[in-house]
Amino acid sequence: MTELYAWAGAAITFILAIIGAWWSGHSKGKSTAETKAAQEQSEASVKAAQAVTEHQSTVVKEASNAEQKVSNSSDADVDSKLLNKWQRKE
């Protein structure tokens, strides 16, 4: 009977060791995946912020160029360009 308890104890210990190893690996894998996801998210937000900044600078440059073009043109040239661009063509 004692030998039966020894075998049962050894089997239970073996099963608990396997479960413990699996749980440890699962926890490490989960933390690694979470770290990687957080890093990718921060990189994506940096890229998005850079894209917004680049777009804003492009818009400011275009507006500045348009203002400079208008200020360098005569009133008649500005009027004729606006009329040509926005006139209804039927």
Taking only the tens of pLDDT, the chain with its 90 residues reads 888 889 999 999 999 999 999 999 888 888 999 999 999 999 999 999 999 999 999 999 999 998 888 888 888 888 888 888 777 666
pLDDT attached to residue 90 = 62
pLDDT attached to residue 43 = 95
Please state the domain extents for the chain. Answer: 2-86
pTM assigned to the model:
0.52
Residue 81's contacts (CB-CB under 8 Å, 6 or more residues apart) are 73
pLDDT attached to residue 15 = 95
**Residue 4 to residue 16: CA distance in whole angstroms:** 18
- Whether 35 and 28 have beta carbons less than 8 Å apart is answered as no
pLDDT attached to residue 47 = 96
Length in residues, the chain: 90
Phi-psi region of 87 (alpha: psi -120 to 50; beta: other; left: phi over 0): beta
pLDDT attached to residue 69 = 84
- Whether 78 and 70 have beta carbons less than 8 Å apart is answered as yes
**Residue 53 to residue 58: CA distance in whole angstroms:** 9
